[in-house]
Amino acid sequence: MKKLIMLTLSASVLAACQSTPTDTAKTTTTNQQDQSTHVETQTAKPQPPVQQQVQLLNPELIAPLPVVEEITPQQEADLWQRIRRQLTMQIPENARIDAQRKFYLQHPTYMDRVAKRAAPFMHLIVEEIEKRNLPLELALLPIVESAFDPFAYSHGSASGIWQFIPGTARQYGLDINWWYDGRRDVYSATHAALDYLTALNERFDNWLHALAAYNSGGGRVNSAIRRNARAGKPTDFWSLDLPRETRAYVPKLLALADILSQQEKYQVSWLPIENEPYLQVVETGSQIDLALAAEKSGLELQQLHHYNSGYNRWATNPEGPHRLLLPLENAERLQQWLANAEQQDLVRWHRHKVKSGESLIVIAKQYHTTPHAIQQANNLTGHLIRAGDYLVVPAASRELDDYSLSADQRLTATQSQQQGSYKIDHTIQRGDTLWDLSRKYDVNLRQLAKWNGMAPTDPLRPGRKLVVWQGEEKTSGVTRNIHYQVRSGDSLARIASRFNVTIRDIEKWNQINRRNYLQPGQRLKLIVDVTRMTNDI
């Protein structure tokens, strides 16, 4: 009975809503004439059938709401979100993860710096990981390894964003030579790192074990697993007796993945990275001068070298790879120029007349190339050359100081950074070791290696110069104010090294900035200890 009354009331209300303007006018007129008639009229007005009202509410007559399709991870605008939506590793409650998570959350500016470094390279890394159907957590691994610094070099001789040591690098196809270090080549090293990680996961069938092995070696992880198994202990990663660094290594990655997957919970937002390709591979076909490539692509030389940090010198390796990574717009410009260029146009060639007593090694050092490159350019099968012969030699198109990210210039900059009150230049002799030198000069072994851009275990080459920083002056020097006239090819780093002072000192004495170009003939004020100046002034 209640249902019938409610249905009747609903029908009445709907009928009132359907009154036409004409009906309303008639009712108003009746009101003016006779109140009693008005009451009768309202009571007697016929109601539409209930069935008619039901038809008016027929769902088929209501327009459907628009369907909003969910975008795929690959369609996300922010690359971090593309990664976030594909994270799969379980994050356990663990004190080691908590400690690493706390560090990252308390240092947001660190993550900002990392995101800026990662921005040019992250898209190509994510694409390759997806192509191989690997966990997207691996895209975060260079943060743990190197903070996405392509020039990172560790105490264990590991280099590049993926921190390969020489032996493993060569095992996975990365060349290391005078011209080129594949560990710092982001493109090649990414492929090699994913090959290595895939092999480790196939070996252990466990990603946490594989990650631990990437850090400390497969043999060490395997030994730890077998040791626990023999003792009847669990063999999961958290139960293994591993080096301290490795015990923190995996938690760092898991902490990063947890923060990214729960940004709302932790109230953090990493600097967005556009989810679009940024760099493109350009095949050059042969050796190319990096300065020329920068000029033809419309890119600053230092920026080009940063994207292609595997190249140690002023040019790519004559033996290859013949490849550059460039932003899309710059890549297109270089490709257009390469389409019409001849191979000999890609480097500058110098015609050198062989002098008495010269060898290919001497000539190669003069032009900052290798004997093999000269042999190739001149179709020489041996090392025999004669005085009076002419050789074509590949040479840099700009002053070597302009190639500021080459190995030599980076070393000069590293050795010029002030680490004490004064520095000593030591020329390596046959039989020298870093350990012996650290004891001789009473300095820390790791510090000595760091001052010279080395690892403590790196071999020493006789004739190479090392810098040794001392905290206090141990001899009474003779200080003089001098005015030095800048020569062609000079740089602040070179002048600082020559006079045993620091770049910072030269800037302070002359109120200049290291980003300013020096002009030949420019005069610089220097305050030097004349007893410790080098002889090549």
State the catalytic residues: 145
Contacts 24+ apart (CB under 8 A), 21-29: none
Phi–psi pair at 348, nearest 5 degrees: -85, 140
Element containing residue 279 per DSSP (H, E):
strand 279-283
Q: In 311-354, which ranges are E strands?
A: 323-327, 348-353
Phi–psi pair at 415, nearest 5 degrees: -70, -20
Helix (H, G, I), strand (E, B) or coil at 519: coil
Which tokens belong to 44? Answer: 């007697």
Which tokens belong to 108? Answer: 């947001």
Query: What are the residue ranges of helices labelled H in 262-395?
Result: 263-266, 290-297, 301-307, 328-340, 360-367, 371-377
Q: In 361-475, which ranges are E strands?
A: 390-395, 422-427, 465-470
Q: 206 with 240: CB under 8 angstroms?
A: no
Sign of CA dihedral 286, 292, 294, 300: positive
Query: What are the residue ranges of helices labelled H in 150-276?
Result: 166-171, 186-204, 207-216, 218-230, 244-261, 263-266
Helix/strand/coil (H, E, C) string of 460-478? CCCCCEEEEEECCCCCCCC
If we measure between CA atoms, which residue out of 143, 57, 60 comes closest to residue 104?
143
Which tokens belong to 214? Answer: 């990437």
Q: CA 391: distance to chain centroid?
A: 40
Helix/strand/coil (H, E, C) string of 129-175? HHHCCCCHHHHHHHHHHHCCCCCCECCCCCECCCCECHHHHHHCCCC
Q: 519 with 486: CB under 8 angstroms?
A: yes
Element containing residue 52 per DSSP (H, E):
helix 50-56
Helix (H, G, I), strand (E, B) or coil at 514: coil
